[in-house]
Amino acid sequence: MLQARRKVLATILAIWGVAATAEEVDLLAFGDSLTAGYGLIETEGFVPQLRDWLAAQGHEVRVVNAGVSGDTTAGGAARIGWSLTPEIDAMILTLGGNDLLRGIDPAVTRANLDTILSEAEAHGVSVLVVGLRAPDNYGPEYKTAFDAIYPDLAEDYGALYEPSFFAGLGEDDPREARQYFQPDGIHPNADGVRRIIEALGPRVIGLITGAE
């Protein structure tokens, strides 16, 4: 009788264990048009492709598209509080591109991103900070100040860090990378998004497995 009870208990615990590992993770993709999927049909955008890629790797993740085209870090700081709804476990932060396009003072960008990360910390949400690099034509002082924002803040908050959103596009060779962009030269095409996710995906898995 005792042995039978032990077997039943072991079965119950095994079922609970499977249920726990299969529990869906809620991931907030918080960014601008790069996250929103600007210029692409819905299934080709960053969020749907990321969700499908994660599923193919065996991870059940609900990816919430919190990308707003044209948004700056100031806009992100203004909406982060209500974007972090109670079910959110983790967040990918990809903001700053529109700050660059507008030439916003890097100190302002840093302060806004600090606000976003502080809010995530207060909500107990794990974060993957995805950086951007300023172009050389902004001058060395601007570039140095801007490029340092993302690694500095990731270290301050103990967040995961990926240096560049475009790492998967061969960005060191502009001629090579051009084929992965839409005609505007700013937003990736569907194939570009696929390559971005292949490069970024392992970092996202590290984020969500920590969240699990």
| CA 59 centroid distance within chain | 16
Cα–Cα nearest to 66, from 43, 49, 83? 83
The question of whether 184 is a catalytic residue gets the answer yes
How far is it, in rounded angstroms, from Cα 200 to Cα 191?
A: 14
The question of whether 69 is a catalytic residue gets the answer no
Strand order of the β-sheet with 90-94 is 61-67, 25-31, 90-94, 126-130, 160-162
Class of the 23-211 domain?
alpha beta
The question of whether 33 is a catalytic residue gets the answer yes
pTM: 0.86
**Catalytic residue, candidates 26, 33, 59, 89:** 33
Residue that the structure tokens 């600007």 belong to? 38
Give the pLDDT means over successive 10-residue stretches in the chain (212 positions).
Answer: 41 42 83 95 96 96 97 98 97 97 97 98 97 94 97 98 91 77 94 96 94 60
* Res 172: pLDDT: 64
* Res 212: pLDDT: 57
* Res 50: pLDDT: 97
**Catalytic residue, candidates 136, 172, 173, 184:** 184
